[in-house]
Structure 1
Amino acid sequence: MTANLPSPVVLENDVVRLEPLTMAHIPDLFLAGGGDEEIWRWMPAKPPQAESELAELAQGLISDDKHIPFAVVLRSSGLAVGWTTYGDVPGFAESIEIGWTWYGRTVWRTAVNTSCKVLLIDHAFDKLGYNRVMLKTDVLNLRSQNAIKRIGGVHEGTLRRQRRRPDGTWRDTVYFGILEEEWPDHRARLIR
């Protein structure tokens, strides 16, 4: 099966609704995480100190043909509490990346991250025909690495000095992958 390019869709379960990111989400998103140093610590951008700065970052993702960004909306409240993206992975056949993900602190250590990943990974394999889902993070971001491992990500390597962080220091990037045939067992474990 050949993978299809992702397009903006709505994906939902009983915890979250992932909907195409728009400027209408910015007020909620800024309340959820604008200016929070810890949330933005490992992101490839400085913490936005104003809604306009967050809007600029969002617009960059929306207009970038290498990302499909989603607002993460809580089903219980209807509020956007973060965002996540599908990303292009040049040089890897039938692969897609899940990344540029952040959530407001109020949903840390809740079902939100797992719910988002199940939706995105299911869609990537079952609807889009991808063979591999890739995730990556800063080598220093242990919280994210542990979350990726919990959903079934297998460490595939570390690229040293892969890019600069917003503060100018070099970032080593840890890569993880989940293959299509590995996902059913991980999915069943996560759903349990």
Structure 2
Amino acid sequence: MTAKTPAPVTLTGRHIRLEPLARTHTAELFQAAGKDEEVFRWLAWAAPQTEPEMATIIEGYLALAGCEPFAVIEAGSGRAVGISCFYDANPGDEWVEIGGTWYARSVWRTAVNTEAKLLLLTHAFEELGMGRVMWKTDIRNERSQNAIKRLGAQYEGTFRRARRRPDGSWRDSVYFSMLIDEWPAAKARLTERLLSGA
């Protein structure tokens, strides 16, 4: 059976909700992370210094072919605190990438990323029928690599001189993946981490 292509959907957990990214999220996302160079350090664009610059970033997500972007909504405040996406799904070969992720610094080292990935992985494996989920990140971004490893993903290799960074230097991209047969153990670990407040 062929897997399904990701489509707009709302995924709800205890700590967060993932809902289709929209232009109406612009003000909250700018308030959450605008001007924060550290949040955007490893992404393909500089930190937005104004709300219109954040709007341009959101337009980029919405216009990107093969991207299904989500706004990450904090349950307690009801406000958008980040973005994460499905990318480049290949239903015939049953794989999809998770990427384009960033969060406001106020929710770093909280349950937000754990639950966002639990929701996305559950949707990918159990509802879309994917057999493989992938991530890639800048070789210099050790925080992201550690977060991906904590999900239970496996290191696959490094794609050298993969693309230019905003400063003009060349980025090596580190690749990770999780397979459907690895998912039950990863799901149990992620669920346990959420129950323990991680």
**Both proteins in one fold, TM over 0.5:** yes
Report the alpha carbon displacement of residue 34 of structure 1 after superposing the two structures with TM.
1.0
Aligned partners of 1:53, 1:155: CA distance in 2, in Å? 34
SS in 2 for 1:19: strand
1:67 equivalent in alignment to 2:92: no
Equivalent AA in structure 1 for residue 27 of structure 2: P
**% identity of equivalent residues:** 53
SS in 1 for 2:181: coil
Show the counterpart of 2:81. Answer: 81
The runs of at least 4 consecutive aligned structure 1 residues that moved more than 3 Å come to none
Equivalent AA in structure 1 for residue 19 of structure 2: E
1:54-97 superposed Cα distances (whole Å, 9 cap, x missing partner): 1111112112221000000001110100000100056x921100
SS in 2 for 1:35: coil
Show the counterpart of 2:109. Answer: 109
Aligned partners of 1:8, 1:146: CA distance in 2, in Å? 29
SS in 2 for 1:182: helix
Show the counterpart of 1:14. Answer: 14
Show the counterpart of 1:191. Answer: 191
TM superposition score normalised by structure 1: 0.97
More displaced stretch, 118-127 vs 53-62:
53-62
Show the counterpart of 2:144. Answer: 144
Provide the aligned length of Structure 1 versus Structure 2: 192
Aligned partners of 2:105, 2:60: CA distance in 1, in Å? 23
Aligned partners of 1:69, 1:133: CA distance in 2, in Å? 16
Show the counterpart of 1:174. Answer: 174
Equivalent AA in structure 2 for residue 38 of structure 1: E
Equivalent AA in structure 2 for residue 120 of structure 1: L
Equivalent AA in structure 2 for residue 72 of structure 1: V
Equivalent AA in structure 2 for residue 173 of structure 1: S
Equivalent AA in structure 2 for residue 116 of structure 1: A
TM superposition score normalised by structure 2: 0.94
1:18-52 superposed Cα distances (whole Å, 9 cap, x missing partner): 00001111111001111111000000111111111
Q: Structure 1: where are the runs of 5+ without partners?
A: none
